[in-house]
Amino acid sequence: MTDHKFKIGQTLNYTPHRINYSAGPGRCKIVRLLSTDDNDPKYRIKCTNENFDRVVVESELASPSSSL
pLDDT of residue 46: 96
* Residue pair 34/53 in contact by the 8 Å Cβ criterion: no
Domain boundaries, the chain: 11-62
pTM (predicted TM-score): 0.81
What digits encode the pLDDT tens for the residues 13-56?
A: 998 887 645 667 789 999 999 987 778 899 999 998 889 999 99
Given CATH 2.60.40, say whether it is the number of domain 11-62: no
